[in-house]
Structure 1
Amino acid sequence: MSGGGGSLSSGSSIVTISSVAISDPDPDYRADPNEHGDKRNIRNEKWYHTIVQVSVPFLIAGMGTIGAGRVLTTAKNLSAFTEVPQLLILTTALQGLKGNLDMCLASRLCTQANLGNMKGRREIIKMIIGNIALVQIQAIVAALCLSVFGMGVGAINGNGFVWNHALLLAVSCMCTATSSCFILDFVMIAVIMISHRFKMNPDNLATPLAASIGDVVSISILSFIASEFFLRLNAEIWVLYIVLGFFLVLLPLWILIVLKNKYTSSVLKSGWVPILSALLISGGGGLVLERMVESFEGFEVFQPVINGIGGNLVSVQASRMSTMLHQSSIMGILPPHGKIWVFPWTALFVGSPYATTARLLVAMAIPGQLIFVFIADVLNPGNCTLYAYFVISYIVVSVLQVLLLLYVAHIIIHAMWRYKIDPDNSAIPYLTALGDLSGSLLLALAFFVVYSIIHQPYCIEK
């Protein structure tokens, strides 16, 4: 084992690493005769199997993001959102929070499934209970921090500080985050268990399905709960205090469950920095949304689509890369095929073990976004017309976003692994948050081009 660069050089080292990384080997992993020792290789998956397994949840996820855009178009005109504009700022960050928590859970369980550790019923139940409790803790704390962020941004923008509005933000965010995560976590767990049972790679299915209905569910819950609580903000404000107290009472109970669970106790202590950092990054996307909906009509229709699709695709790649590293090495040591800094061409097209999947994901993004942009336009209730200039601009920026996210994923995941940070818990929050911010900025650029330069806007009178 070489001292520098974190690479592997001897057959005996590979044997040792294999025995540590895969405690209960899955018989579907086959040994590569070209490798030294008894190292077990990653799952031998054909490219067309990857396409089939990824495309179905990808299309479902796309429809979910379109539904989220449709709901957001309606929600922005509700009294709660017009009177408390911070709610609109928080929609992007709240979607990102929900996606981060669910996708991290999916990535952790996918890794355990691919390592062959999800076999005993008792252990599976422990994993499920521990992970659900962990997500609830993260949702409560992060939602509270998110509401503070929203009020701070609102104060900076000149909206001032109103205690009732802060209470509304806190309760609405906590209710939305905890309820949507609780519902979707069980859906994801079922998907992972079924896919593993039928010898499909859960990495291809779980993360996109985690966001397939997540965005539309979270925005729907937020708009409903915020509207209901807004009506009670003056006469029945005690209801909000009771709900807030209920979550604060539940918090130590969830913490106790997680601390006694061997699968999640370490994550509770170390998984906060990426979650909270991602909230700030996603909050930037929310600020872009707030500004753009005033300047460019129809922006809110496509913002959840470009953000959601980019985040879904990079989450598939991140989950697969993390699983491959867990299978081929131990944390802190990069395998022979792993390098932190490579050229974009190497990471995305030819030259790395992950390039095949990256090419497939980029290839799927082009026709997928083309389909989604037309469906989103059909479902848009506004008086808008889809022109070729807008479609071309949208496709260009969406592909640029996917390329950027996939390349950043390669760098971040390998760097985290090299410095003994588990990418299952830390990579996806940063990547999806970057997807929210970059997607919002690039979409704003596309709208600026078609509105201000080409002078053929998306929304005009038909």
Structure 2
Amino acid sequence: MEEHQQHLISFKPTHRRSSSSATDTTITHESLKHFVQSTEQLTSRKRRLQDHHQPSFSVLTLLIQTLPSLLVSVLGGILTGLLLEHVQDWTAFVRVPELYILLPVLMNLKGNLEMNLAARLSTSANVGDLDTPKGRNSLVKGNLTLLQVQAIIVSFTASLLSFTLGVLSRNNLPTLRIASTKPIVGAIVQSKLPSINWNTPLQGGYSECLLVLAAGMLAASVNSLLLGGLVCGLVIACRILKINPDNITTPIASSLGDLMTLIFLSLTASIFIRYAERSILTTTTFMILTCSIILHVYFTYKNEYVRGSLKVGWTPLFMAMLISTCSGLVLEKVVIKYHGFAVIAPVLTGICGNIGTISVSRISTSLHASKPLGDVSLRPSSSSSIERKSNQFLKDDHSDLDLEEDTHSSSSCSEEEVLKDQLDIDLDFDPTSSSSSTDEPVRKVGIVLLLLSTFILAGFALIHLSLDRLNPSKSSVLSGLDWRFFIGFMICVVWTSTISLLSANYLTKFLWKFNLDPDIYAIPLLSSTIDLIGQLSLVITFIFFT
């Protein structure tokens, strides 16, 4: 009996070792298989990075590509102002004053969404992800569905906030002012409110609430579909023509975003106002758009390229809205006080903000391209370590644990080293490290963009001053401004542009250091901050130079 027990005792370790050996063999095989698949993906992307056309820096090329986009942004800002003057007397805006509050809020949030889309796609184009038909189709479809999710949720928030502020204003709260995310537009709107009859048939009830929600959400959804498709097409065209999309897409997305938001909000509100009393059309539209969020979230989550973007990017959007709202509350009275402020400020902040977004997009692309293979999730050691540890704790005898673990680790390390040497892949890169080296010539690009903004804004101011001098009998929006103000204005331009470029550089690298994608986080924060700084600087210019 004792011999039999001894036989069993001596047999069990042998049985455990054979089982452990089989398990380790399976784990090693699975780990190696996972590693080979990962390295094949990394090798494929590395080959695309080596084969695709990397846009090289040239001062002349930067000038040729950037100047038209900045001029388009100026033209878009002017057209937006002219259209606003035209639609302010439409029936929808007269009967539903909340649309005045909704417009600047929606313009700010939607503009940031389109600029983020342009920056993400520009980075994808420059690192070669758009070079294959499969990757291109997946990226475009995924980004468009993601944009729909963001646009509908953001427009719902903005519409609800605008309706609430409008209702509180009707209750004659003396301390409440319009919290405009675009302070200039908000100031123009505020100056128009006294002439609006607040005692209209729509007095803050269910019908008016649904009208504001449906108009804002439908305008944002249609605008995102059209403008998002335009941005995607523009990036792909730039890729085909070997043009750097970082120099073009963000200014165009910003200017066209404001213009198209105003157009579609005016059109949708004008249609819904005819059926406001019944509210059937607005309720149906609201329900369809709300249910469509689930469908868009599903398709976005199924897309591996943009799945992770569903949970990120919301904080900077609403932080930007908060910053711009505070600037609107502070500058509201100042905007109306100084004649000509409402014309100069949008162009100043638009150009200075656009050169900052161009810089952000270029630096972010360079950072992504310099460390394109640094996805730590593809490391095989992390994929099998948990499974290996759980299997080890199922053993009865832990005496061989250290030996087996050392043997397995050495074999895995040797296999990993061999494949790393053969494929020349940097698997040890940590994206959270403090290294943020980039091949982007930040100083040269900054100087070129600074000169561009200076000359464009100088030409804008000179044209207005010249028209005022040539037609003294006709009062212009800049009447009373002289060459002394022009000097102060140019100081303001250089100051604001410099802050924009420096902030773009340091903010982008700061976010990258903490493993936050600058294409998502940097642009909303930068654009809202430059709006505030630019308008405060212009106020100081008016105080000391007029």
| Partner residue, 1:110 | 122
Once the two structures are superposed, residues 61-104 of structure 1 have per-residue CA deviations (whole angstroms, 9 ceiling, x without a partner) of: 11111111222233445454455554334433322222211111
Of 265, 280, 286 in structure 2, the residue corresponding to residue 222 of structure 1 is 265
Distance apart, 1:132 and its partner CA: 0.5
Q: For residues 425 and 337 of structure 1, what CA distance do their matches in structure 2 show?
A: 20
Q: For residues 294 and 391 of structure 1, what CA distance do their matches in structure 2 show?
A: 20
Once the two structures are superposed, residues 240-291 of structure 1 have per-residue CA deviations (whole angstroms, 9 ceiling, x without a partner) of: 2222112112111111110000111100112221222222223335546754
Once the two structures are superposed, residues 178-202 of structure 1 have per-residue CA deviations (whole angstroms, 9 ceiling, x without a partner) of: 2222211122112211111122211
Percent identity of equivalent pairs? 28
Once the two structures are superposed, residues 38-61 of structure 1 have per-residue CA deviations (whole angstroms, 9 ceiling, x without a partner) of: xxxx74311211111111111111
Q: For residues 172 and 376 of structure 1, what CA distance do their matches in structure 2 show?
A: 36
Q: For residues 260 and 404 of structure 1, what CA distance do their matches in structure 2 show?
A: 40
Counterpart check, 1:170 vs 2:194: no
Q: Conserved in 1, the CA contact under 8 Å of 2:148 and 2:225?
A: yes
Distance apart, 1:418 and its partner CA: 0.9
Q: How does 1:185-264 map onto structure 2 within 5 Å?
A: 185-233=228-276, 235-264=277-306
Q: For residues 309 and 43 of structure 2, what CA distance do their matches in structure 1 show?
A: 23
Q: For residues 152 and 199 of structure 1, what CA distance do their matches in structure 2 show?
A: 48
Q: How does 1:390-401 map onto structure 2 within 5 Å?
A: 390-401=485-496
Q: Conserved in 1, the CA contact under 8 Å of 2:366 and 2:440?
A: no
Distance apart, 1:133 and its partner CA: 0.6
Q: Conserved in 2, the CA contact under 8 Å of 1:369 and 1:398?
A: yes
Q: Quick one: structure 1 residues 19 and 376, their matched pair in 2 at CA, closer, same or farther if it must change by over 3 Å?
A: farther
Q: Which amino acid aligns with 1:281?
A: I
| Partner residue, 1:180 | 223
Q: Which has the higher helix share?
A: 2
Q: Conserved in 2, the CA contact under 8 Å of 1:62 and 1:309?
A: yes
Q: Conserved in 1, the CA contact under 8 Å of 2:353 and 2:530?
A: yes
Q: Which amino acid aligns with 1:147?
A: S
Alignment TM-score, normalising by the size of structure 2: 0.67
Count of matched residue pairs: 408
- Larger mean CA deviation between 19-28 and 167-176 belongs to 19-28
Q: Conserved in 1, the CA contact under 8 Å of 2:339 and 2:478?
A: no
Q: For residues 138 and 315 of structure 1, what CA distance do their matches in structure 2 show?
A: 20
SS of aligned partner of 1:24: helix
Q: Quick one: structure 1 residues 246 and 303, their matched pair in 2 at CA, closer, same or farther if it must change by over 3 Å?
A: farther
Of 150, 153, 157 in structure 1, the residue corresponding to residue 176 of structure 2 is 157
Q: For residues 166 and 398 of structure 1, what CA distance do their matches in structure 2 show?
A: 41
Q: For residues 128 and 282 of structure 1, what CA distance do their matches in structure 2 show?
A: 30
Q: Which amino acid aligns with 1:223?
A: S
Q: Quick one: structure 1 residues 292 and 94, their matched pair in 2 at CA, closer, same or farther if it must change by over 3 Å?
A: farther
Q: For residues 118 and 279 of structure 1, what CA distance do their matches in structure 2 show?
A: 32
| Partner residue, 2:512 | 417
Once the two structures are superposed, residues 188-232 of structure 1 have per-residue CA deviations (whole angstroms, 9 ceiling, x without a partner) of: 112211111122211111112212422222222223333443454
- Larger mean CA deviation between 246-255 and 70-79 belongs to 70-79
| Partner residue, 1:308 | 350
Q: Which amino acid aligns with 2:454?
A: I
Q: Conserved in 2, the CA contact under 8 Å of 1:69 and 1:302?
A: no
Query: Can you give the 5+ residue segments of structure 1 that lack an aligned partner in the other structure?
Result: 1-17, 30-41, 339-350, 455-462
Counterpart check, 1:25 vs 2:80: no
Q: For residues 292 and 89 of structure 1, what CA distance do their matches in structure 2 show?
A: 19
Q: Conserved in 2, the CA contact under 8 Å of 1:62 and 1:372?
A: no
| Partner residue, 1:404 | 499
Q: Conserved in 2, the CA contact under 8 Å of 1:337 and 1:353?
A: no
Q: Conserved in 2, the CA contact under 8 Å of 1:91 and 1:286?
A: no
Please tell me the root mean square deviation across aligned C-alpha atoms, in Å: 3.2
Distance apart, 1:333 and its partner CA: 2.8
Once the two structures are superposed, residues 364-422 of structure 1 have per-residue CA deviations (whole angstroms, 9 ceiling, x without a partner) of: 1111113334667879x975344224544444334332222222222221111111111
Q: Which amino acid aligns with 2:317?
A: I
Distance apart, 1:361 and its partner CA: 1.0
Counterpart check, 1:333 vs 2:376: no
| Partner residue, 2:310 | 268
Q: Quick one: structure 1 residues 219 and 151, their matched pair in 2 at CA, closer, same or farther if it must change by over 3 Å?
A: same
Alignment TM-score, normalising by the size of structure 1: 0.78
Q: For residues 392 and 134 of structure 1, what CA distance do their matches in structure 2 show?
A: 45
Q: Quick one: structure 1 residues 336 and 131, their matched pair in 2 at CA, closer, same or farther if it must change by over 3 Å?
A: closer
| Partner residue, 1:119 | 131
Q: For residues 81 and 442 of structure 1, what CA distance do their matches in structure 2 show?
A: 32
Q: Which amino acid aligns with 2:120?
A: R
